[in-house]
Chains A and B, each alone.
Chain A
Amino acid sequence: MLILNLARQSLTNRILTTSLTALSIAFSVALLVGVENVRTGMRESFSNTVSGTDLIVGSRGGTIQLLLYSVFGMGSPVANISYETWKEWDEHSAVSWTIPYALGDSHRGFRVIGTNESFYERYKYRGGQSLALAEGREAGGVFDVVLGAEVAARLGYALGENIAVTHGMGGFMDHDQMPFEVVGILDRTFTPVDRAIYVTLEGISAIHMGWETGAPPMMGEEVAPEEVLAMEEIPVTQITSFFLGAESRAFTLQLQRDISTNEEEPLTAVIPGVALAEMWRGIGYAEDGLRVISGFVVLVGILGMLVSIYTSLDARRREMAILRALGAGPRRIVSLLVLEAGLLSAIGAFLGVLFVYGGLTVLQPWLEGRFGLQIPIQMLDTTQMIYVGAVVVLGFVAGLVPAIKAYRTALHDGLSVRV
């Protein structure tokens, strides 16, 4: 009781240095916890590039490759999936919905993806957010085009703009005889969705009419847009991959197995969350970098704390000597200093955690809007608990050194120190 009283009075008496020390501890704790938060936020944002989708299905091939071309718009598939196979799975009793993807064309370096209305309805990203149109409407007609936010911003296109689609990725052979028109622009998602152009499956088919050999149609054999529009039904023969939502989560694994052993056509099905997490482990250099930074932050933070506690206590050698001269034994003096140091670091740690939560509450919308980084506001995880615990424990230990020193120096020397 006496010790607690002394500690309290001595701390409040030096309120300025006390608060500065507590603040410096708070900042290191905030940095520590904050960096760790950003790290997990980055990983989670990445793993959540696609959400709500149970499986992504493509022709037989590598998991990463499938992810790269279907989610990140990089590389291309080895083979396509026939329309019939897709339809078969689309109508499967355990399947709730599918989003088809037909890849292979581009416009000024951006991918053109053929899909259908499910895309606008079902595609979810980061924590189950749906796509939304910033302007216009979904692509419904054969020559309708919807732009990802990044595409619209980079190319400066507005609604009503006519664009040509290039066969393959950035070749010279434009399908410029087919005039596509921008009918909608998507809201920004901070995912690869922003960097693609969306048309209908029929639109993709129309581009390729007369191209069945893989070469441009002969002179006079071109299919005119009017002819396409006059067709009653435009045949869609193949797609590249499809996203799939199961009737129930519980079917996912069974479906994955069934799809992978599909008889007519060899297919690969991946669970996006799992595959993305796996991919992050492969390419998570950024995370390693952050981990190194957070290691240094821990080191510097704790060193700073030790220094400030040490100096604030060392300045009180005379006071310790007086207490000793009045009969306070080693245990009392040690517990006084250790208690003070521990209180300081506990207050600092508490403040630091508050800073993080406060900062996140304020900055979260901005971080998400600016970088698409979703940092969850949640309870401290184990690593963070360990960090905070270590700071408090080290704070207690930091008090031990000056305490022992106060007791080691001769009493008379301590009394001679000028205050």
Chain B
Amino acid sequence: MTDDTACIRATALTFSYGKGPNVLDIPEMTIRSGERVFLHGPSGSGKTTLLGLVAGVLKPTPGSLEVLGKDVGALSSPARDRLRASHIGYVFQMFNLIPYLNVRDNIALPVRINADRRRRLDGPVDEAVTEAAAHLGIEHLLTEKVTRLSVGQQQRVAAARAILGSPELIIADEPTSALDADRRHAFLELLFKNVEQSGSTLLFVSHDMGLADQFDRPLSLPELNRASA
């Protein structure tokens, strides 16, 4: 609670799945508000796990992780859901799209569900969706079922969904893994523009070290994490 400008702050954060060995053991990590961080590490090093803890999908031990001023570990599961819905945009590594909704409805879903996110939109939901889709080159797919998209197209739907309504914290788990160079560039541009406009914090995971210098600072998980053996 010392640093008012900290967006994410981990102290002695440990995590294991069930009774398994520790996947994470992070003595100390701070990400300041408005910072754009590039998180990297080999496959299986615990990147997705860390993002899950930050987003409240997984439950950390109380006192070990603070996100947007809240002790995530002390929150009940519905309270973590609310924190994530209102303030965090999450591009899941596995996309997690709703199979029976079309592209437009998938992108608009979090904004429709959450009033806070909706309030931060400038105009009507439909307009914002179309605009985001246009930036990512999927505006011609808006009425298409998501199950009929290519992986890269699905990834862009997931990305558009996460940034709509300008959440304070955007978490992106390898959002560009299936994109070609042009798409990757357009996506990063949209992402940065969004982050800048709303002063959001960005936590970005990628294996593509070539992207690292576009961020404020790189963060190597194996260096932070004592559990990585």
Chain A residues with CB below 8 A from B117, complex form: 327
Binary A-proximity of B80-96 (CB < 8 A = 1, otherwise 0): 01101110001010101
How many A residues are at the interface, by size bracket? Answer: 20 to 34
> Chain A residues near B96 (CB, 8 Å)?
322, 325, 415
Nearest CB of A to B169, in Å: 14
Closest A residue to B97 by beta carbon equals A322
Give the chain A neighbours of B57 by CB distance below 8 A. 325, 411-412, 415
Docked pose: A327 CA to B109 CA in angstroms: 9
In the complex, chain A residues 1-32 whose Cβ is within 8 Å of any chain B Cβ: 2, 6, 9-10, 12-14
Contact yes or no, A327 B110, CB < 8 A: yes
A419 within 8 A of B: yes
Partner of B81, one of A10, A322, A411: A411
Which of B92, B99, B110, B113 sits near A332, CB closer than 8 Å? B113
Q: Is the CB of B112 within 8 A of A2?
A: yes
Shortest CB-to-CB span from A376 to chain B, Å, is: 44
- Judged by a CB distance under 8 angstroms, whether B221 is at the interface is no
B224 close to A (CB within 8 Å):
no
B52-71 interface bits toward A, Cβ cutoff 8 Å, 1 = contact, 0 = none = 10000111000000000000
Whether the pair A322, B78 counts as a contact (CB closer than 8 A) is no
Whether B81 pairs with A412 at a CB distance below 8 angstroms is: no
- For residues 374 through 419 of chain A, which have their beta carbon under 8 Å from a beta carbon of chain B? 410-412, 415, 419
Closest beta carbon of chain A to B164's beta carbon, Å: 11
- Identify B99's interface contact among A327, A411, A419, CB under 8 A: A419
Q: Which residue of A has the minimal Cβ distance to B116?
A: A327
Indicate if the CB atoms of A329 and B84 lie closer than 8 Å.
Answer: no
Total A-B residue contacts, Cβ distance less than 8 Å: 61
Interface check A323, CB cutoff 8 A: yes
A217 interface contact, C-beta 8 A: no
Could you say which residues of chain B place their CB within 8 Å of the CB of A327?
Answer: 81-82, 84-86, 110, 113-114, 117
Q: Is B78 in contact with A325, judged by CB distance below 8 angstroms? A: no
Is the CB–CB distance between B90 and A325 below 8 Å? yes
**B98 engages A323 (CB within 8 Å):** yes
Chain B interface residue number, banded: 20 to 34
B101 within 8 A of A: yes
The answer, yes or no, to whether A173 is at the interface (CB within 8 Å) is no
Q: A319 near B: Cβ within 8 Å?
A: yes
B58 near A412 (CB under 8 angstroms)? yes
> Shortest distance in angstroms between A254's beta carbon and chain B's nearest beta carbon?
72
Instruction: Knowing A324-B81, A326-B113, A411-B77, say if A9 contacts B100 (CB, 8 Å).
Output: yes
Q: Which of A2, A325, A332 has the most chain B CB atoms inside 10 A of its CB?
A: A325
Complex partner residue of B100 from A10, A410, A411, CB under 8 angstroms: A10
Verify if A330 is at the interface (C-beta below 8 Å from B).
yes
Q: Give the complex CA separation of A72 and B168 in angstroms.
A: 88
Q: How far is the CA of A319 from the CA of B110 in the complex (A)?
A: 14
Query: Which of B58, B59, B94, B101 is the one whose CB lies under 8 Å from A9?
Result: B101
- What residues on B are CB-neighbors of A9 within 8 Å? 100-101, 105
Q: 5 closest Cβ contacts across the A-B interface? A: A327-B85, A13-B100, A327-B114, A326-B110, A322-B96
Q: Pick 26 A–B contacts, CB within 8 A, sort by A.
A: A2-B112, A2-B113, A9-B101, A319-B99, A322-B98, A323-B109, A325-B57, A325-B92, A326-B85, A326-B110, A326-B114, A326-B161, A327-B81, A327-B82, A327-B84, A327-B85, A327-B110, A329-B78, A330-B78, A332-B113, A410-B59, A411-B81, A412-B57, A412-B58, A415-B57, A415-B92
Given A319-B98, A323-B109, A325-B84, 12 new contacts (CB under 8 A)? A13-B100, A322-B96, A322-B97, A326-B85, A326-B109, A326-B161, A327-B82, A328-B85, A330-B78, A410-B77, A411-B57, A415-B94
